[in-house]
Amino acid sequence: MRNPIIVTLLAGAFLSLNANATDLLQIYKDALANDAQFGSARAALTAGQEKVVQGRAGLLPSIGLSGSDMRTRTEVQRDAIGFDRSSTGYTNSWSLGLSQPLFRWANWQQYEQGKLAVMVSEAQFAQQQQDLIVRVGQAYFDVLAAQDTLATLQAQKTAISEQLAQAKRNFEVGTSTITDTHEAQARYDLVIAQEFAGQSDLEVKRAALRQIIGKDAGELAMMRAGVKLEAPQPQKIDEWVGSAEKQNYGVVGSQVAVEIAKREIERNRAGHYPTVDLVASTGRTSNAGATNLNGTGVIKPTSIGVQWTIPLFSGFAVDSRVKEAIALEDKARNDLENARRTAAQGARQAYVGVNSGLAQVKALEAAEISSQSALDSNKLGYQVGVRINIDVLNAQQQLYTTRQNLAKARYDTIMNGLRLKSASGVLKEQDLAEVNGLLQH
- Within 10 angstroms of residue 423's Cβ, the number of other Cβ atoms is 29
Q: What is the pTM for the complete model shown?
A: 0.84
Do the beta carbons of residue 418 and residue 234 sit within 8 Å?
no
C-alpha 344/C-alpha 237 separation (Å) is 10
**pLDDT at 318 > cutoff 90:** yes
What is the rounded CA–CA span in Å between residue 292 and residue 16?
95
The residues that bridge with 279 in the sheet, in sequence order, are 99, 305
Span 174-219, pLDDT tens digits: 766 788 788 888 888 998 999 999 999 999 999 999 999 999 988 9
Residue 128 phi, psi (nearest 5): -65, -35
Where does 270-388 have alpha helices with state H?
317-384
Across 85-94, 98-107, 282-291, the highest mean pLDDT is recorded for: 98-107
| DSSP structure class, residue 49 | T
Q: Among residues 272, 274, 276, 266, which one has the least CA distance to residue 313?
A: 272
Q: Which residues contact 54 (CB under 8 A, 6 or more apart)?
A: 114
Q: Is the pLDDT of residue 382 over 70?
A: yes
- Tell me the domain boundaries of the chain: 22-62+103-273+316-436
Q: pLDDT at residue 161 above 60?
A: yes
Q: Give the C-alpha separation, 282 to 304, whole Å.
A: 9
Put residue 65 in one of left, alpha, beta given phi > 0 → left and psi -120 to 50 → alpha.
Answer: beta
Half-sphere exposure of 390 (CA within 13 A, CB side): 7
Q: What is the DSSP letter of 224?
A: P
Q: How far is Cα 119 from Cα 308, in angstroms, rounded to an integer?
A: 34
Query: What is the DSSP annotation of 103-141?
Result: E-HHHHHHHHHHHHHHHHHHHHHHHHHHHHHHHHHHHHH
Rounded Cα distance between 432 and 31, Å, is 13
What is the residue type of 127? Q
pLDDT exceeding 70 applies to what percent of the chain? 90
Give the span between the Cα atoms of 129 and 429, in whole angstroms: 9
Q: Is the pLDDT of residue 367 over 80?
A: yes
The number of residues making up the chain comes to 441
CA 225 vs. chain centroid, Å, equals 31
Residue among 318, 323, 332 nearest 273 (CA) = 318
Residue 103 forms beta bridges with which residues? 276
Cα–Cα distance, 237 to 243 (Å, whole number): 10
Topology classification of domain 22-62+103-273+316-436: Outer membrane efflux proteins (OEP) (1.20.1600)
Count of other CB atoms within 10 angstroms of residue 414: 23
What confidence tens digit (pLDDT) does each residue in 265-285 have? 999 999 999 999 999 999 999
SS3 425: coil
Q: How far apart are CA 362 and CA 357, in angstroms?
A: 9
pLDDT band (50, 70, 90) for residue 10: very low
pLDDT of 8 higher than 50: no
